[in-house]
Amino acid sequence: MQKSIFTKFFRICAIVFIASILVLGSLFLPFSAQYFTTEKMNTLEKHATIARGIVLSNYQLSSSGSQVTLDSNSIRAGFKMFADAVEGDIYITDLNGVTQLCSERSPCQHTTYQMPDDVLGILEENGRYFEMGKLEKVYEESHYTMGLPVELENGARIGYIFISTSAKELTNFFTEMLKMFLLSALAALLLAFVVTYYAAGRMIRPLRQMAQAARKFGQGDFSTRVEIDTVGGEDEISQLAAAFNNMAQSLSIQESTRRSFVANVSHELKTPMTSIAGFIDGILDGTIPREEHSKYLRIVSDEVKRLSRLVRSMLNLSRIEAGELKINAAQFNVVETICQTVFSFERSIEAKHLEIEGLDADKVIVDADPDLIHQVVYNLTENAVKFVNEGGTLSFSFHSDGGMTYVGIRNTGEGLDKEEIPKVFDRFYKTDRSRGIDKNGVGLGLYIVRSIVTLHGGDVIVRSIKGEYTEFVFSIPSAKGKGSPLVRGREKGYRQDAEELPEVQGEEVSDAK
């Protein structure tokens, strides 16, 4: 049988409450009885002192001073009146413990009973005697008994006086106290159970909601959220609920990204594969004339290369996201890397009659992975060459600050819309204009750029003014002890440009940390 957390929590609280009540009762009731007994002893001692005064006020000494005569009638009358008032028995014994006079209340109608030696010994040693019992079978039921020595003014001891009252009062007191304790304990337990039931239910509610939401997550529904109760302050349960909601939001975003990723990959794979299949079938069935075979085979070759680039990019992404891509850092001149990359686009640059600026800078030494940074530079330069306007300008800038080197790649041209800038680093995202210009791209280049730069502990931003330019600036660690590089080409570095952003009308900046 499955037990819920609520049941376990409630059972534990119930056991703790009941155990606490039992411990409290086992301590409270004996202490109460002890208190009652102590009070009774003090009261009996006061009464015994009064009874002793009655004896001392009714005695006579012989002429020699050695013989004491008690006024039996007066003492007995005084005992009887006082005994009725205290509802007890009063009697006096000689020094041997033999009863001499009593209040004539049962069972005191005898004068032959002798107090035990141990009782007399306690009286001699402590100056008083107290017990709760039957006084050596004098009484059939338990009585409180207090004994005091009777001494004359000259210090001579003439006997002992005892006063006894029934111990039924303790039984009655104990019974009443037990009733009161049980009723109070029952009320306290009932209140504790109600409060615990409500509090436990309120604490467990978010966990139940999480369990229900988790089951929906398993079915692919990430829309459920847990209600967060912050009344009385934030506790661990509310923190867990908030973390759960954040996780649900992240899962929802990841699921949406995954579906978009699958859809984009499917689309990117389907288009070239459809083209390849169509052209190959056309060649095989004779639909395409023999003299045009080479033309369409070149198209097929381009589509195969496009598929190869897509697969290679996806493998790189998989390695980056799985944490398998390791950085082999080394110190190298990033200006030289950019120059080599620009030379690889020489044909495209000459075809568009582009002007290159900023590559006459001195050495800019960085501490990063040369191969990965080459891929970053290649992707950004490729985009810049694709989207620069005819006869436009490609500009490169370098600046070091705070142990980081900032590399800027700018191209003149149409620029980006405000709505497009926050999305340019998303996987498979391509602007409407780029879909018409860049038919071979798959929309993964900038995402890979951001992933590689982030892996180096840097960041990348895009800045653009519609109709004027687009610039990507990425940062990577500078080589230690190399200082700031010289800046040529563009007079201002990245940080200086960033400070002037508010003065540029229409400029949009996106940070892709």
Mean pLDDT computed over 418-425: 80
**Confidence band of 489 (pLDDT split at 50, 70, 90):** very low
Tell me what the mean pLDDT of segment 24-36 comes to.
Answer: 80
Q: Higher confidence at residue 19 or residue 432?
A: 19
- Distance, CA of 258 to CA of 429 (rounded, Å): 14
Identify whether residues 352 and 452 lie together within a single domain: yes
Q: Are residues 75 and 116 in the same domain?
A: yes
Q: Is the pLDDT of residue 365 over 90?
A: yes
224 belongs to a structural domain: no
3-class DSSP state of 427:
coil
Nearest C-alpha neighbor of 26 from the set 181, 236, 250: 181
Q: What is the per-residue pLDDT for 481?
A: 57
Whether 149 and 40 share a structural domain: yes
Each residue of 118-132: pLDDT tens digit?
888 888 888 888 888
- Enumerate the β-bridge partners of residue 157: 151
Task: Residue 376: name the closest of 428, 459, 490, 453 by CA.
Answer: 453
Query: Which structural domain, as residue segments, surrounds residue 243?
Result: 236-321
We report the CATH number of the domain holding residue 406 as 3.30.565.10
Write down the pLDDT at residue 513: 46
Characterize 368-405 residue by residue with b for buried, 16 or more Cβ atoms within 10 angstroms of its Cβ, and e for exposed: bbbebbbbbbbbbbbbbbbbbeeebbbbbbbbbeeebb
Beta-strand ranges (E) seen in 106-170 are: 129-133, 143-151, 157-166
Provide the pLDDT confidence category of residue 254 given band limits of 50, 70 and 90.
confident
407 and 317 in one domain? Answer: no
Give tens-digit pLDDT for 56-83: 887 766 555 566 677 777 777 787 777 7
How would residue 231 be classed by pLDDT, with cut points 50, 70 and 90?
low
Judge if 314 and 336 occupy the same domain.
no
Residue 257 is classified by DSSP as H
Specify if 221 maps to a domain: no
Residue 476 forms part of a structural domain: yes
Domain count, the chain: 3
Q: Which residue has the higher pLDDT, 295 or 173?
A: 295
pLDDT confidence bin for 504, thresholds 50/70/90: very low
The verdict on residue 204 lying in a domain is no
3-state secondary structure 448-463: HHHHHHHHCCCCEEEE
**Do the Cβ atoms of 434 and 441 come closer than 8 Å?**
yes
Residues 305 and 340 grouped into a single domain: no
Rounded CA gap, 93 and 115, in Å? 8
Based on the fold, state whether residues 317 and 384 are members of the same structural domain: no
- Among 292, 321, 350, the domain boundary falls at 321
Tell me if 376 is assigned to some domain: yes
> 273-311 as b/e, with b when 16 or more CB fall inside 10 Å?
eebbeebeeebeeeebeeeeeeebeeebeebeebbeebe
| Rounded Cα distance, 136 and 102, in Å | 17
Same domain for 303 and 413, yes or no, is: no
The model's pLDDT over 282-333, given as tens digits with 9 standing for 90+, comes to: 888 888 888 888 888 888 887 887 788 777 767 777 777 666 677 888 999 9
* Chain mean pLDDT for the chain: 78
Q: Is 135 left (phi over 0), alpha (psi -120 to 50) or beta?
A: left
What type of residue is 506? G
Residue 135 sits in a domain whose CATH number is 3.30.450.20
The CATH code of the domain that includes 311 is: 1.10.287.130
In a domain, 205, yes or no: no
Residue where a domain terminates, one of 172, 187, 210: 172
Q: Is residue 207 part of a domain?
A: no
Q: Does residue 123 sit within a domain?
A: yes
CA distances from 453 to 68, 114, 459 (A): 118, 109, 6
Report the pLDDT averaged over residues 431-435: 47
- pLDDT bucket at 434, cuts 50 / 70 / 90: very low
Q: Helix, strand, or coil here: 116?
A: coil
One domain for residues 21 and 63: yes
Note whether 315 and 283 are same-domain residues: yes
pLDDT on residue 258:
73
pLDDT of residue 111: 52
The last residue of one of the domains, among 278, 303, 321, is 321
Domain match, 71 and 24 both: yes
Radius of gyration of the chain (CA): 52
Question: Does one domain contain both 369 and 505?
Answer: yes
Chain-centre distance for alpha carbon 400: 42
Mean pLDDT of 107-111: 49
Average pLDDT over residues 99-104: 75
